[in-house]
C-alpha cells in the first residue's frame, strides 16, 4: 500500500486501490452536485423549484436537520469534558467530525440558498440584532470555527504528521484547551439551536409556526435545543454503526453505543413531554385566538399524518425503545429506534420550514405544494458526498476510534 | 522547536488578526459588493427632466384622454388625463400599457412587401407607387377598426372618390345600434347619459369590463346617483360591483327588454311611435311573461319588479348591448330603445340620447351611413363572386377578430391586392401583400369624435408625444399622398389640416382641442319614429342545439385590435390561462350535466370551427352556459401573445337576422366534447 | 422591537365593492416601478406583482354565488412581520409616513421576510429583469432596476412621496402636512372606479382617515397583530369575513 506510513498504527485498512474506487464513487455524486452548484451560481435560483410561496424548501430543511443531527458534537463534548462522562471518549472524535461536516455543509448550502451569494458577508457587516437569523448566522459561524479547532488536533494526530515535533506539541496544546472549546461550543450551540426554533416561533404572520410570549422564549427555544440533543447522539451512533457495516470492522463498543442511545432516549422523553404541551397549547389556545382551528393547519398533502409520524411513530416509539434497557440492549431495536428518532426530528424541521409557509393564511388564498427539483437534490447530495469524503479520509488516515485496536 | 502555551495562543490569534490587517480581504469584499449592485447587464436609469404631455388612447374606441409622463424626450408611463371627460384620470390596463407598446416586439419597423411568401423591406416612395398603381381604376374596398377617428373619414372619402362604396368598420355595437336606430327612422348617434341617471339597467353589455367607453362607464358608476343593475350570463367585472346581478341567458337581453316593455305597456306607458298600436299589440301578445321567462331564465316576478323599479326612478336609463361588445342584432337594440321610449327617457337627463354628427371630408359619407354597412355581408358578396381588386385594412385585425376567422381568411384570399396599415404584425398583416405600418398612436396626430356609448358630443385630438421610432407613416397622410398621385383631391394636404378643419367646424381650434377636449350638450330632437314589428320577431325564434356560449371580453386580455400586452401577462388569472391552454368556465351543475372535470381538456365545436380549452368549474356562470374569454389564440404578434390558448372567435356562429338582414353572433351555441 | 408611532401614516382604503378587477392598477404599478414584463405569467408563484388582484368567492353555488376583487399592495404594517426578521437591515419601518422600505443593494436574498409575510406581498427576483429590445427606453426614473436574487415589494410609490415633499419644501409648505392629492401611488391614481383611496390616516381631514373608521372597514388578518396601513371596505358581510380568519361561532367585524 502506497499510503501505509500515513495510516494509523495497529489497524487494518483496505487496499489503496479499493479506497480509490470508493472515493471515485463519492466523486461522481460530488461532481453532479458541483455541476448543479455551478448552474445555480451562474443563473441564479431560477435553477431550483423554489418560488414566491416556498422561499424556503429542501435546502433550509436540510440545513436545520443536519444542524440538529450534528448536535451530537457539542453535546458529547459537553458530557465528556464538562460533565465528565469518560466513556464518551470512544466516540467523541467521530462526533466532532460529524458535527464539523454538518456545520460546514450547512454553510455551503446557505451560500447557495441566498439570492446574492456575493453579499453573504453582509450578515456579519450589517447585522440586524433583532433578527433570529442574525443570531443563527453568528453562532453557526463561530461554532463552525470551534469545530474546526476541535477537528485540527485529530488531524494532527495522523501518524506521519505527528512525527513532526512542532505538530506534536501543537496537537498536545489543542488537547489541553479542549474543555474550553467544548464549553464555548456548548454555549454557542445552545444559542443557535434555540434561535433556529425562534426563527419560526417569532413569525407571528404564520400561525403554523407562531408561538406566543412564553411559548417562544424560552419554550420553543428549548424545544429546538432539546430535539437537537435528543437526536444528535443517536445520529453520531448511527454513523459509527454505518461505518462499521461498510468497513466490516468494529469501531465502537456496543456499551458506548447503548450509552449514546440512552442519552438520546432520555432527552427525547424530556423533549416530547414539552413538545406535547406546546402542541396542545398551540392547538387549543394560540390558534383559536387567531381565528383558526387545528384541522385547518393540514391539507391533503401536508396532512396530520406528518404530525402523527413526527410525534408518535418517530417520537414516542423510539423514546420507549431507547430508555428501556431491555429494548436498548437489542442492537436491532437500538438502531431502529435511533433511525426513527432522527427521522422524527427531520420531519419536525421539515414541517416548520415548509408547512409553515404552505398554509394559506389569507382565507381567500390556497394551499400549494412544493417538490424540490434535481438541482436542489444534487446540491444536497453534494454535501452528503462531501461528508462521506471527509469521513472516509478521516477514518483511513486518522486515529478516530480509540477502541478500534482492542475490538478487532 | 518547542511551543509553549503563550506561543500557541500568539500563533492562533496573530495569524487570524494579521490577515485582517492587510487590505486584501477588505478591498475585495468592498469591490464585490459594489459589483453586485452594478451588474453590467442590468439596465441603468437614464435621468432627465420630468414632464407631462396630453394624449389620446386609440387602443379601443373608448377615447380616453391620456397624460403621458416623460423623462427628457422619453415617454415612460401613460396615466389618465384628469381633465379629460372620458378618463378623468383613470385608464384601463390596455391604456396603461400604451407607452411600453411603442417597443412591443411585434411592431412593424418599416414598410414591407410580400415576395413569394416572404416579406421584404421597401421604401415609402416605392410603397406609395405600388399602392397608386394597384388602386388606379380598380375596385377597392377598405376596412377600418377606428370607428371614431378622422383617419377613417379620410379613407372613406378617398374610396368614394375612387368610385367605391365599400368602406366598412369592424363590427361592433356602434354599428348595430345605428342600424336599429335608422330602421326606427332615428337621427344621429345614440348615447347613454349614465352620469345623470339614478337607475341604470344594463342588459348584456359588460360596461364595467370592456363594453363601449369602459373607463367613462366606470367613472359614471363610481359617482353614481342611484342604482346600477346588471343582467348577463356571467359574473363579470360589472356583475361583481353593481348593486344587483341577474343571470340571463346569452343573447337574450332583447327578449328581457321586451319582457319589461310588456309590464310597462300593462301599466299604460306609451311611446311616440308612428305604429305604436301595432307594436303594443305585438308585444302584449307575443312577449308574455311565460315566454320571456322561458327564453331568458329570469322569472316573471323579477321582470315585473324591474319594470316597477324603472318607473319609480326619476331618471332611469336602460342600456342593451352584447355581452362582448359585438354580434348583437337590430332586435336587441330596437328592444332596448323601446324600453327607453316607454320610460320617456329619450333626450332626457340621465336617459337615452341622440348625439350630433360631424364630418369635414366632403366626399366621405356620414358615420351613420357608414355604420349601416356590414363587412360580413361584404365577405358574403365576395365569396359569391363580387369582384374586388384591392382591400385596405386600417387598425383592424379581421383574420383574428371576426367570427369564424378561418372562413374569413379563405374569402380574403380571393382579393388579389391587400394592404395592411397595422402598427403591429398581426394575423391580418401577415396575410397582406403590403404592410405599411402606421406609427404608434403616441407618435402621430389622431383624434376621436364622440365615442359610441357616451352621453355627449366630445372631440379629442392628440399631438404626437414622441418622434416615430421606426420607419412609419401616418396612414391618412399616406392616403392623401397616394390620392395626390392619383389626381384625386380630398381637399386637404395633410391629416393635421383635417383635424384643424374638424376643430374649426366645432367652433374651436386644433391647439385648444389638443389641450382640452371639446364637449357640447347638443342632443338631436327626433320626430316620427317607428318600429317595424318584423324586427321584434327575432326574439321568438327557437334556439338551435348545443350549449350557450358566453364570450367574455376583458381589457386585460387585450381586445380585437391589440393582443395581450407584455404588462398584461401577469394580470391574466390562473384559471384563464395555464401555459398554452386557456380555460372555459362552467358551474358545477353544468359540468355535471356535460360530464366535465376540473382542468379536463375539451374541444368546443361551433358552426364554423372548433377550439381546444381546459375546464374550470366556477359558480360565476349561470346554469347551462359556457363562459370563455376572447383574446387568446393569437398566431402572429410576439412571444407575449402568440400561441397562448385558442381563439374563441373560431366557434362563434354567424346567423342572419330576419327583419334587418344583419349578421349576428351573440347567441352562439357550441358542442363540448372531451379532447 | 417596539413599533414606532409616526406623525404621518400613509394609508389606503380600498373599496372592494367598487373594484371591477380590471387590472389597471397592476399594469400601472409595473410601468411606474420598472418591473420587467414576463413572457409566461401563468405560474402565479413565479410572477412578480407588487400589486395583485385576488378574486374572492362567497363559496356558494349559482345563483347565490357572488364574487369580489381584492387588490393587494404591501400592507405597510404598523408592526411588520418582515422587517424585524431581516438579518441585514435591508427592510425597515423607520421613516415618517410609515412606509416599509426595501433596500435592494443591501438585500442578500435570504427570503426570510417572505416567509414572515402572510400577505405574499414580497417577491423574489428569480430572473434578471429583461425588457424586450428597446423597451428599456421606457424605464421610469422612479426606482432603480433590481437585479436577480433580491426581494422587492410595493413601496406605496415612495418616490412620489419624495417628489411631493420636495415640491412642498420648494413652495414653502410643510412637507409633513401634504394635502390629499399631493402624493398618490400609481395604482390609486389610475383606478378607473376610484376604488383605491389614498392619504394620511393620521390627518382627520383626509378621506382615508374617515373611511378607515367606517364600520364596513376592515384590514387583512388583523388578528395576527400586523396593524396594516391598508384598509379595505365592503358592505358585503361575506367579503369582510374573508378579510380575516374566524371561528365558525365568531361574528364578522362590523356586524
ipTM of the complex: 0.95
Closest listed residue to residue B129, CA positions, set B113, B146, B145: B113
- What CATH code would you report for A50-370? 1.20.1630.10
- State the smallest CA–CA distance between residue B107 and chain A in angstroms: 30
- State the smallest CA–CA distance between residue B228 and chain C in angstroms: 12
Distance, CA of C142 to CA of C50 (rounded, Å):
15
Name the pLDDT band for B9 (thresholds 50, 70, 90): low
Residue C1 has pLDDT above 60, yes or no: no
Distance, CA of B289 to CA of B258 (rounded, Å):
10
Identify all chain C residues contacting A113, using CB atoms and an 8 Å cutoff.
110
Q: Mean pLDDT across the stretch C74-98? A: 95
* Pair (B597, B504) in one structural domain: no
Angstrom distances, CA of residue B615 to CA of B468, B594, B602: 44, 11, 7
Put simply, whether C108 touches B (Cβ < 8 Å) is no
* Pair (B349, B268) in one structural domain: yes
Give the length of chain B. 675
CA angle B535, B539, B541 (to 5 degrees): 105
Which of C84, C86, C149 has its CB closest to that of A115?
C149
- What's the DSSP call for residue B257? H
In C, residues 161-220, which contact B (CB 8 Å cutoff)?
Answer: 186, 189-195
Residue B184 lies in a domain: no
Q: Mean pLDDT across the stretch B481-485? A: 95
Q: At which of B355, B383, B412 does a domain end? A: B355
Q: At which of B324, B355, B386 does a domain end? A: B355
Phi/psi of residue B584, nearest 5 degrees: -100, 155
Alpha helices in B186-325 (DSSP H): 214-222, 237-241, 253-266, 276-286, 289-296, 300-312
* Pair (B337, B366) in one structural domain: no
Of all helices (H) and strands (E), which one includes residue B67?
strand B65-71
Put simply, whether B32 touches A (Cβ < 8 Å) is yes
Residue B537 lies in a domain: no
Report domain extents, chain C.
10-241
Single pTM value for the model: 0.94
Q: Mean pLDDT across the stretch B287-298? A: 94
* Pair (B59, B91) in one structural domain: yes
* Pair (B218, B337) in one structural domain: yes
Distance, CA of C2 to CA of A130 (rounded, Å):
11
* Pair (B16, B28) in one structural domain: yes
CB contact under 8 A, C194 and B96: no
- What's the DSSP call for residue B436? -
Residue B447 lies in a domain: yes
Specify the CATH number for the domain of residue B418: 3.40.50.740
Chain B residue with CA closest to C190: the answer is: B90
C254 or B40: which leads in pLDDT: B40
* Pair (B18, B130) in one structural domain: no
Distance, CA of C229 to CA of B238 (rounded, Å):
28
Q: What is the 3-state secondary structure (H, E, C) of chain A?
A: CCCHHHCCCCCCCCCHHHHHHHHHHHHHHHHHHHHHHHHHHHHCHHHCCCCCCCCCCHHHHHHHHHHHHCHHHHHHHHHHHHHCCHHHHHHHHHHHHHHHHHHHHHHHHHHHHCCCHHHCCHHHHCCCCCCHHHHHHHHHHHHHHHHHHHHHHHHHCCHHHHCCHHHHHHHHHHHHHHHHHHHHHHHHHHHHHHHHHHHHHCCCCCCCCCCCHHHHHHHHHHHHHHHHHHHHHHHHHHHHHHHHHHHCCCCCCHHHHHHHHHHHHHHHHHHHHHHHHHHHHHHHHHHHHCCCCCHHHCCCCCCHHHHHHHHHHHHHHHHHHHHCHHHHCCHHHHHHHHHHHHHHHHHHHHHHHHHHHHCCCCCCCCCCCCCCCHHHHHHHHHHHHHHHHHHHHHHHHCCCCCCHHHHC
Which of C23, C62, C138 has its CB closest to that of B587?
C62
Dump pLDDT digits (tens) for B175-204: 999 999 999 999 999 999 999 999 999 999
Residue B606 half-sphere exposure toward CB, CA atoms < 13 A: 29
CB contact under 8 A, B79 and C28: yes
CB contact under 8 A, C132 and B93: no
CB contact under 8 A, A132 and C127: no
* Pair (B332, B201) in one structural domain: yes
- State the smallest CA–CA distance between residue B35 and chain A in angstroms: 9
Residue B339 half-sphere exposure toward CB, CA atoms < 13 A: 33
Bridge pairing between strands B417-420 and B390-394: parallel
CATH class of the C10-241 domain in this structure: alpha beta
- State the smallest CA–CA distance between residue C181 and chain A in angstroms: 31
Q: Mean pLDDT across the stretch B559-584? A: 95
CB atoms within 10 A of CB B49: 8
Report the share of chain B in percent with pLDDT over 90.
90
Name the pLDDT band for B1 (thresholds 50, 70, 90): very low
Which of B2, B8, B32 has its CB closest to that of A118?
B32
Which structural domain, as residue segments, surrounds residue B626?
542-674
In A, residues 126-185, which contact B (CB 8 Å cutoff)?
Answer: 165-166, 169-170, 173, 176
Report the share of chain C in percent with pLDDT over 70.
99
Residue B311 lies in a domain: yes
Q: What is the 3-state secondary structure (H, E, C) of B155-217?
A: HHHHHHHCCCCCEEECCCHHHHHHHHHHHCCCCCEEEECHHHCCEEEEECCCCCCCCCCHHHH
* Pair (B491, B377) in one structural domain: yes
Sign of the Cα torsion C16, C18, C19, C20 reads positive
CB contact under 8 A, A127 and C224: no
CB contact under 8 A, A166 and B3: yes
Q: Mean pLDDT across the stretch B464-472? A: 96
Residue B26 has pLDDT above 90, yes or no: no
C95 or B18: which leads in pLDDT: C95
Dump pLDDT digits (tens) for B113-171: 999 989 999 999 999 999 999 999 999 999 999 999 999 999 999 999 999 999 999 99
- State the smallest CA–CA distance between residue C2 and chain B in angstroms: 31
CB contact under 8 A, B79 and C137: no
* Pair (B369, B516) in one structural domain: yes
Residue B532 lies in a domain: no
**Contact indicator for B94, B76 with CB cutoff of 8 Å:** no
Distance, CA of A264 to CA of A200 (rounded, Å):
24
Considering its fold, how many domains does chain B have in total?
5
Distance, CA of B276 to CA of B531 (rounded, Å):
8
C2 or B197: which leads in pLDDT: B197
Identify all chain B residues contacting C182, using CB atoms and an 8 Å cutoff.
none
pLDDT tens for chain A, 408 residues: list them.
688 888 888 888 889 999 999 999 999 999 999 999 999 999 999 999 999 999 999 999 999 999 999 988 888 888 888 888 888 888 999 999 999 999 999 999 999 999 999 999 899 999 999 899 998 888 889 889 889 988 988 998 888 888 888 888 888 888 888 888 888 888 888 888 888 888 888 899 999 999 987 877 788 888 999 999 999 999 999 999 999 999 999 999 999 999 999 999 999 999 999 999 999 999 999 999 999 999 999 999 999 999 999 999 999 999 999 999 999 999 999 999 999 999 999 999 999 999 999 999 999 999 999 999 999 999 999 999 999 999 999 999 999 998 888 888
Report domain extents, chain A.
50-370
Closest listed residue to residue C239, CA positions, set C32, C120, C70, C112: C70
Mutation target among B619, B625, B637, B638 for the C interface, most CBs of C within 10 A? B619
| 3 state DSSP class of B587 | coil
Bridge pairing between strands B199-203 and B227-232: parallel
Chain A residue with CA closest to B6: the answer is: A173
Identify all chain B residues contacting C136, using CB atoms and an 8 Å cutoff.
43
Residue B106 has pLDDT above 80, yes or no: yes
Q: Which residues, other chains included, contact A102 with Cβ-Cβ below 8 Å and sequence gap of 6+?
A: A66, A67, A69, A70, A73, A387
Phi/psi of residue B461, nearest 5 degrees: -130, 145
Residue B581 has pLDDT above 50, yes or no: yes
- Judged by average pLDDT, the poorest of B105-109, B429-433, B666-670 is B666-670
Residue B498 has pLDDT above 90, yes or no: yes
Dump pLDDT digits (tens) for A356-382: 999 999 999 999 999 999 999 999 999
Q: What integer pLDDT is reported at residue B2 of this predicted model? A: 55
Question: What is the overall mean pLDDT for chain B?
Answer: 94
Of all helices (H) and strands (E), which one includes residue B9?
helix B5-21
Residue B529 lies in a domain: no
Name the pLDDT band for B502 (thresholds 50, 70, 90): very high
| 3 state DSSP class of B420 | strand
* Pair (B317, B363) in one structural domain: no
Q: What integer pLDDT is reported at residue C2 of this predicted model? A: 59
A and B: number of Cβ contacts within 8 A:
21
**Contact indicator for C115, A206 with CB cutoff of 8 Å:** yes
What is chain B's alpha carbon radius of gyration, rounded to the nearest angstrom? 29
Find residue B671's DSSP bridge partners: B605
Identify all chain B residues contacting A52, using CB atoms and an 8 Å cutoff.
none
* Pair (B479, B546) in one structural domain: no
C115 or A12: which leads in pLDDT: C115
Amino acid at each position: 500500500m502506497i499510503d501505509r506510513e500515513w495510516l494509523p498504527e495497529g489497524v487494518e485498512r483496505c487496499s489503496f486501490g479499493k479506497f480509490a474506487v470508493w472515493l471515485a464513487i463519492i466523486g461522481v455524486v460530488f461532481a453532479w452536485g458541483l455541476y448543479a452548484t455551478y448552474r445555480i451560481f451562474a443563473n441564479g435560483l431560477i435553477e431550483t423549484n423554489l418560488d414566491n410561496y416556498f422561499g424556503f424548501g429542501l435546502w433550509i430543511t436540510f440545513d436545520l436537520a443536519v444542524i440538529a443531527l450534528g448536535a451530537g458534537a457539542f453535546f458529547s463534548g459537553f458530557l465528556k469534558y464538562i460533565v465528565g462522562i469518560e466513556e464518551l471518549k470512544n466516540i467523541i472524535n467521530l462526533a466532532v467530525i460529524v458535527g464539523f461536516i454538518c456545520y460546514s455543509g450547512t454553510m455551503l448550502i446557505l451560500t447557495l440558498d441566498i439570492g446574492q451569494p456575493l453579499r453573504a458577508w453582509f450578515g456579519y457587516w450589517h447585522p440586524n440584532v433583532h433578527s433570529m437569523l442574525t443570531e443563527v448566522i453568528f453562532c453557526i459561524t463561530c461554532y463552525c470555527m470551534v469545530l474546526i479547532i476541535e477537528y485540527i488536533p485529530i488531524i494532527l494526530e495522523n501518524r506521519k504528521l505527528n512525527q513532526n515535533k512542532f505538530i506534536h506539541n501543537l496537537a498536545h496544546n489543542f488537547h489541553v484547551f479542549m474543555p474550553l472549546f467544548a464549553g464555548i461550543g456548548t454555549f454557542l450551540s445552545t444559542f443557535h439551536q434555540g434561535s433556529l426554533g425562534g426563527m419560526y416561533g417569532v413569525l407571528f404572520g404564520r400561525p403554523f409556526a407562531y408561538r406566543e410570549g412564553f411559548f417562544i422564549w424560552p419554550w420553543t427555544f428549548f424545544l429546538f435545543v432539546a430535539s437537537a440533543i435528543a437526536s444528535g447522539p443517536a445520529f453520531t451512533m448511527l454513523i459509527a454503526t454505518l461505518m462499521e457495516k461498510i468497513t466490516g470492522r468494529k469501531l465502537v463498543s456496543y456499551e458506548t453505543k447503548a450509552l449514546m442511545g440512552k442519552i438520546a432516549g432520555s432527552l427525547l422523553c424530556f423533549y416530547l413531554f414539552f413538545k406535547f404541551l406546546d402542541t396542545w397549547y398551540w392547538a387549543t389556545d394560540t390558534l383559536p385566538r387567531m381565528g383558526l382551528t387545528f384541522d385547518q393547519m393540514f391539507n391533503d398533502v401536508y396532512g396530520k399524518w406528518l404530525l402523527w409520524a413526527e410525534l408518535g411513530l418517530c417520537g414516542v416509539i423510539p423514546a420507549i425503545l431507547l430508555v428501556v434497557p431491555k429494548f436498548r440492549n437489542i442492537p436491532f431495536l437500538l438502531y431502529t429506534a435511533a433511525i426513527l428518532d432522527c427521522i422524527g426530528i427531520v420531519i419536525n424541521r421539515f414541517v416548520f420550514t415548509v408547512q409553515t409557509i404552505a398554509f394559506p393564511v389569507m382565507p381567500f388564498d390556497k394551499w400549494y405544494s412544493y417538490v424540490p427539483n434535481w438541482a436542489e437534490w444534487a446540491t444536497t447530495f453534494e454535501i452528503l458526498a462531501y461528508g462521506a469524503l471527509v469521513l472516509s479520509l478521516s477514518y483511513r488516515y486518522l486515529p478516530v476510534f480509540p477502541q478500534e485496536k482492542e475490538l478487532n | 522547536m518547542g511551543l509553549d502555551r503563550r506561543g500557541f495562543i500568539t500563533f492562533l490569534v496573530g495569524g487570524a488578526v494579521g490577515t485582517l490587517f492587510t487590505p486584501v480581504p477588505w478591498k475585495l469584499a468592498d469591490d464585490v459588493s459594489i459589483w453586485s449592485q452594478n451588474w453590467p447587464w442590468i439596465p441603468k436609469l437614464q435621468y432627465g427632466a420630468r414632464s407631462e404631455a396630453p394624449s389620446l388612447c386609440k387602443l379601443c374606441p373608448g377615447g380616453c384622454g391620456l397624460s403621458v409622463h416623460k423623462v427628457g424626450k422619453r415617454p415612460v408611463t401613460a396615466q389618465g388625463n384628469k381633465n379629460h371627460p372620458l378618463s378623468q384620470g383613470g385608464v384601463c390596463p390596455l391604456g396603461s400599457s400604451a407607452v411600453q407598446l411603442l417597443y412591443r416586439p411585434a411592431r412593424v419597423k418599416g414598410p414591407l412587401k410580400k415576395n413569394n411568401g416572404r416579406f421584404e423591406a421597401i421604401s415609402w416612395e416605392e410603397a406609395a407607387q405600388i399602392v397608386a398603381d394597384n388602386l388606379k381604376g380598380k375596385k377597392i374596398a377598405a376596412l377600418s377598426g377606428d370607428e371614431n377617428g378622422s383617419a377613417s373619414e379620410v379613407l372613406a372619402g378617398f374610396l368614394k372618390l375612387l368610385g367605391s362604396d365599400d368602406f366598412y368598420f369592424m363590427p361592433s355595437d356602434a354599428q348595430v345600434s345605428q342600424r336599429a336606430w335608422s330602421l326606427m327612422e332615428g337621427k344621429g348617434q345614440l348615447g347613454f347619459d349614465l352620469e345623470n341617471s339614478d337607475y341604470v339597467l344594463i342588459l348584456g353589455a359588460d360596461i364595467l369590463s370592456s363594453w363601449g367607453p369602459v373607463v367613462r362607464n366606470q367613472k359614471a358608476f363610481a359617482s353614481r346617483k342611484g342604482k346600477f343593475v346588471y343582467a348577463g350570463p356571467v359574473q363579470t367585472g360589472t356583475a361583481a360591483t353593481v348593486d344587483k346581478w341577474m343571470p340571463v341567458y346569452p343573447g337574450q337581453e332583447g327578449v328581457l327588454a321586451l319582457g319589461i316593455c310588456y309590464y310597462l305597456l300593462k301599466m299604460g306607458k306609451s311611446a311616440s311611435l308612428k305604429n305604436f298600436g301595432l307594436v303594443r299589440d305585438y308585444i302584449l301578445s307575443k312577449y308574455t311573461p311565460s315566454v320571456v321567462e322561458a327564453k331568458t331564465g329570469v322569472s316573471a316576478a323579477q321582470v315585473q319588479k324591474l319594470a316597477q323599479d324603472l318607473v319609480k326612478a326619476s331618471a332611469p336609463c336602460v342600456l342593451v348591448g352584447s355581452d362582448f361588445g359585438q354580434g348583437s342584432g337590430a332586435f336587441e337594440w330596437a328592444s332596448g330603445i323601446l324600453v327607453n321610449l316607454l320610460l320617456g327617457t329619450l333626450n332626457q337627463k340621465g336617459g337615452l340620447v341622440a348625439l350630433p354628427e360631424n364630418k369635414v371630408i366632403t366626399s366621405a359619407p356620414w358615420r351613420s351611413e357608414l355604420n349601416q354597412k356590414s363587412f360580413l355581408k361584404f365577405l358574403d358578396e365576395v365569396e359569391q363572386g363580387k369582384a374586388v381588386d384591392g382591400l385596405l385594412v386600417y387598425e383592424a385585425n379581421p383574420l383574428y377578430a371576426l367570427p369564424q376567422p378561418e372562413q374569413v381568411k379563405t374569402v380574403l384570399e380571393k382579393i388579389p391586392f391587400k394592404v395592411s396599415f397595422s402598427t403591429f404584425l398581426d394575423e391580418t398583416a401577415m396575410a397582406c401583400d403590403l404592410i405599411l405600418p402606421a406609427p404608434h398612436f403616441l407618435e402621430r396626430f389622431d383624434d376621436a369624435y364622440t365615442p359610441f356609448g357616451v352621453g355627449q358630443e366630445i372631440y379629442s385630438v392628440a399631438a404626437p408625444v414622441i418622434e416615430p421610432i421606426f420607419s412609419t407613416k401616418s396612414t391618412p397622410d399616406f392616403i392623401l399622398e397616394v390620392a395626390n398621385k392619383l389626381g384625386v383631391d380630398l381637399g386637404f394636404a395633410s391629416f393635421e389640416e383635417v383635424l384643424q378643419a374638424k376643430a374649426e367646424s366645432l367652433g374651436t381650434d386644433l391647439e385648444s382641442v389638443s389641450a382640452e377636449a371639446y364637449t357640447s350638450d347638443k342632443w338631436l330632437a327626433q320626430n316620427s319614429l317607428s318600429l317595424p314589428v318584423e324586427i321584434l320577431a327575432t326574439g321568438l325564434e327557437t334556439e338551435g342545439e348545443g350549449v350557450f356560449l358566453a364570450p367574455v371580453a376583458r381589457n386585460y386580455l387585450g381586445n380585437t385590435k391589440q393582443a395581450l400586452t407584455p404588462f398584461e401577462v401577469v394580470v391574466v388569472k390562473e384559471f384563464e390561462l395555464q401555459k398554452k391552454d386557456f380555460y372555459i368556465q362552467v358551474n358545477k351543475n353544468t359540468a355535471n350535466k356535460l360530464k366535465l372535470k376540473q382542468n379536463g381538456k375539451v374541444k368546443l365545436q361551433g358552426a364554423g370551427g372548433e377550439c381546444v380549452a381546459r375546464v374550470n368549474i366556477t359558480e360565476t356562470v349561470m346554469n347551462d352556459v359556457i363562459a370563455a374569454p376572447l383574446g387568446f389564440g393569437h398566431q402572429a404578434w410576439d412571444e407575449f401573445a402568440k400561441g397562448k390558448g385558442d381563439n374563441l372567435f373560431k366557434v362563434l356562429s354567424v346567423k342572419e337576422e330576419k327583419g334587418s338582414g344583419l349578421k349576428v353572433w351573440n347567441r352562439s351555441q357550441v358542442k363540448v366534447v372531451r379532447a | 422591537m417596539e413599533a414606532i408611532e409616526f406623525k404621518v401614516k400613509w394609508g389606503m382604503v380600498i373599496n372592494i365593492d367598487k373594484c371591477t378587477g380590471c387590472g389597471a392598477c397592476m399594469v400601472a404599478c409595473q410601468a411606474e416601478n420598472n418591473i420587467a414584463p414576463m413572457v409566461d405569467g401563468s405560474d402565479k408563484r413565479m410572477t412578480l406583482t407588487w400589486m395583485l388582484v385576488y378574486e374572492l368567492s362567497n363559496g356558494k353555488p349559482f345563483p347565490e354565488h357572488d364574487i369580489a376583487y381584492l387588490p393587494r399592495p404591501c400592507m405597510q404594517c404598523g408592526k411588520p412581520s418582515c422587517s424585524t426578521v431581516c438579518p441585514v437591515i435591508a427592510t425597515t419601518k423607520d421613516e415618517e409616513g410609515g412606509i416599509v422600505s426595501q433596500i435592494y443593494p443591501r438585500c442578500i436574498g435570504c427570503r426570510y421576510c417572505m416567509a414572515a409575510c402572510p400577505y405574499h406581498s414580497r417577491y423574489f427576483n428569480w430572473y434578471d429583469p429583461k425588457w424586450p429590445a428597446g423597451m428599456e427606453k421606457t424605464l421610469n426614473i422612479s426606482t432603480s432596476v433590481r437585479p436577480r436574487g433580491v426581494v422587492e415589494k410595493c413601496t406605496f410609490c415612495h418616490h412620489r412621496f419624495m417628489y411631493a415633499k420636495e415640491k412642498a419644501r420648494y413652495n414653502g409648505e410643510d412637507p409633513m402636512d401634504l394635502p390629499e392629492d399631493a402624493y398618490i401611488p400609481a395604482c390609486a391614481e389610475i383606478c378607473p372606479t376610484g376604488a383605491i383611496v389614498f392619504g394620511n390616516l393620521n390627518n382627520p381631514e383626509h378621506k382615508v382617515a374617515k373611511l378607515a373608521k367606517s364600520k364596513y372597514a376592515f384590514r387583512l388578518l388583523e388578528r395576527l397583530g400586523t396593524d396594516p396601513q391598508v384598509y379595505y371596505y365592503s358592505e358585503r358581510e361575506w367579503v369582510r369575513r374573508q378579510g380575516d380568519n374566524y371561528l365558525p361561532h365568531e361574528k364578522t367585524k362590523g356586524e
